[in-house]
Amino acid sequence: MKIRFIYPRFRKFLEGHPELDELVRRHLVGNYTMPPSLAIPILASLTDSRHEMLLTDDNIGQPVDYGEDVDLVAVSFFTPQASRAYEIADGFRAAGKTVVLGGIHPSLRPHEAREHADAVCVGEGEGVWRRILADAERGMLEPIYTPDKTYNLADAPIPRRDIFSDNDYHWDAHLVMTTRGCPVRCEGCPVPEKEGTKVRLRPIDDIIEDIRGMPYKEFYFTDDTVMLPGKKYQNYLLKIMERTAELDIRIFLASTMMMIPSPEFYRRLHAGGAVSMYTVFGFDRNSRRLLSDECTRREWREAIDLVRMNEDAGIHFFASFGIGFDEHNERTADRILKFAGDAGIDCAEFYIPAPFPGTPFGIAAENQGRILHRDYRLWNTGNVVFRPRGFSPDQLQQTFFYLWKEFYRDKEPQETLKSFTLNKHE
C-alpha cells in the first residue's frame, strides 16, 4: 500500500495575537517549529518495507494533496490540531480515500473522531498498527482499534525519523522517549489517562542506541516523569546520563517543580550533557502552591533554590508559567513576575490552561458547563476557551498578554535563547 502520514498544523502559543507580534519576531519563544512528535516515526518503523510511506508536516507548509493516489491516510494529532485534523480527514474521505485517526485527542474522544474517519486508534498504536494495515489491505477496517494489553517498552522500535526532513525546522532537537505513564494525576495532564498510572521505563541500552543512530547533537527527552522525586526515577535518569556523558551531545530535559533538591544531582545531569530544564508551573501541587496566596516564605525560598541549583550546575532554567487556574486572581501575574525576577529566570513562556479531554480539569470543566467552545484551533493554551473563576475571559486573555510583555520588556534574544541552536529562517 501507499501510506500518507499527516501531522496537522496547530497554532503556536502566540500565533494570531497581533499584540505580541514584535515579541514573537525578536524572541521566537512560543512560536518556533521543531520536528513532529514520535508517534508517526514509531509507526513508520513498524511498517513493512513493502509499503510506501510518505509524510506531510502541515506545520511547515508542506501541501496536503487530497487528489493524491494513496491507499491509506494516517493522521496523528493532539487537541490543538484536532480541528485541522478533521478538516484534512474529511477532505480525503470526500475524495474516496481511507482515513485512520490516532493520537492523544482521538484516544480520549474516540466517538467524536469516528465521525471523521474510517477507523480510530485508541491508546498506544504499537499494539494495533500492523492489524490496522492488514485490515486496510483487505478493505475490512474496524471502527475502533484498542490494544488488549499495555505495551512493553522493551519491544519499542527505533523510530524512523528519516521519514521527515529536519532541515525545515527552527530547532532540530530530536525527541527521545524514555518512559510512558505517570503516577501523578496533575490537573491538566492527559498522560495518566492515555498511558496509565504505572511508569514503564525504556531500556537504557535502547535509549543510547537510539541516540547514537542519529547524526545530531541536540536531543529532547520528552518525558518529565524521569524528574519525579524518588530513587527509582533518580537512579534511572542518572544511569542514562552516565552513558550520554560519553557522546558529546546536548540534552534538554522536562520537569515540574516536583524536583529533587540536590545540587549534586544537577551537576551529574550536566556532566551527562543536560543544558536546559523546561519546567512547567501549574500542573503539580508544588508550583500551584508557590503561586497561590498561601505560599510561605520558606516555600518561596526553596523554589528559588531549585532554580539556582539548575543554573549553578550549568543547566539553563526555562520556565513555563500557567495563568488562569481556579485559585488564581488579579494578584497572580505579579507573583509570577516577582518569582521569575527573584529566581533570576531569563527565559519563560506563559500559557492559559485548556480543559483537555481526559484530564481532571477537562472533566470538571465539562461537567460544570465552563467550556466556552470546541474550536480546537484555539485550544493551544494561548487563548481562553473556558470560563475562569478569578477573572472574566477577557481579563484572563489580557493578563496573558501582560505577562508576555512585562517579562520580555528589557530582555535580549541572545540571552533568552542561549540554550537553543536555532536554524535561520526568513
pLDDT tens-digit profile, the chain (426 residues): 999 999 999 998 888 888 887 776 676 665 667 788 899 999 999 999 999 999 999 998 899 999 999 999 999 999 999 999 999 999 999 999 999 999 999 999 999 999 999 999 999 999 999 999 999 999 999 999 999 999 999 999 999 988 886 557 776 678 999 999 999 888 888 888 889 889 999 999 999 999 999 888 899 998 988 998 889 999 999 999 999 999 999 999 999 999 999 999 999 999 999 999 999 999 999 999 999 999 999 999 999 999 999 999 999 999 999 999 999 999 999 999 999 999 999 999 999 999 999 899 999 999 999 999 999 999 999 999 999 999 999 999 999 999 999 999 888 766 666 665 555 444
Number of domains in the chain: 2
pLDDT at 35: 80
Query: What nine digits make up the cell of 204?
Result: 537504557
Neighbours of 112 (CB within 10 A): 16
Q: Are residues 194 and 279 in the same domain?
A: yes
- For position 105, what pLDDT does the model report? 97
**Buried b / exposed e across 31-49, counting CB within 10 Å, b at 16+?**
bbbbbbbbbbbbbbbbbee
Element spanning 421, H or E: none
| 305 and 408, same domain (yes or no) | yes
Picking from 377, 353, 381, the residue whose alpha carbon sits closest to that of residue 85 is 377
Task: Express each pLDDT in 244-278 by its tens digit.
Answer: 999 999 999 999 999 999 999 999 999 999 999 99
- Give pLDDT tens digits for 113-154: 999 999 999 999 999 999 999 999 999 999 999 999 999 999
Q: Which domain holds residue 276?
A: 171-416
Structure confidence at residue 426 (pLDDT)? 42
> 128 and 206 share a domain?
no
pTM: 0.93
Select from 31, 30, 39, 79 the least CA-distant residue to 57. 39
Cα 285 to Cα 289: distance, rounded to the nearest angstrom: 6
The predicted structure's pLDDT at residue 215 = 85
* Helices within 12-94 (DSSP H only): 21-27, 39-45, 82-94
Question: Which domain CATH number covers 52?
Answer: 3.40.50.280
User: Quick one: 114 and 180 in the same domain?
Assistant: no
Say if residue 9 is in the same domain as residue 93: yes
Q: Are 350 and 286 in contact (CB under 8 A)?
A: no
**Domain stops at, among 145, 162, 179:** 145
Helices (H), 139-230: 191-195, 204-212
Distance from first CA to last CA of the chain, Å, rounded? 37
How many other CB atoms sit within 10 Å of the CB of residue 313?
Answer: 18
Is the torsion defined by CA of 258, 345, 171, 314 positive or negative?
A: negative
d(CA 222, CA 285): 21
Residues 127 and 188 in one domain: no
Tell whether 106 and 204 lie within a shared domain.
no
pLDDT value of position 216: 84
Tell me, yes or no, whether 181 and 120 share the same domain. Answer: no
Domain edge (last residue) among 145, 162, 192: 145
Please answer whether residues 179 and 202 qualify as being in contact, where contact means their C-beta atoms are separated by less than 8 angstroms.
yes
Same domain, residue pair 55 and 199: no
Going by C-alpha positions, the residue among 8, 32, 16 that lies closest to residue 83 is 8
Taking every pair of Cα atoms in the chain, the longest distance, rounded to a whole number of angstroms, is 65
Q: Is 103 exposed, middle or buried (0-12, 13-18, 19+ CB in 10 A)?
A: buried
Do 255 and 139 share a structural domain? no
CATH number, residue 213: 3.20.20.70
Strand partners of residue 279: 255, 319
* Cα dihedral value 403, 424, 381, 393, nearest 10: 50
Q: Are residues 225 and 362 in the same domain?
A: yes
Find the angle CA(53)-CA(174)-CA(154) to the nearest 5 degrees: 75
Whole-angstrom Cα distance, residue 127 to residue 15? Answer: 36
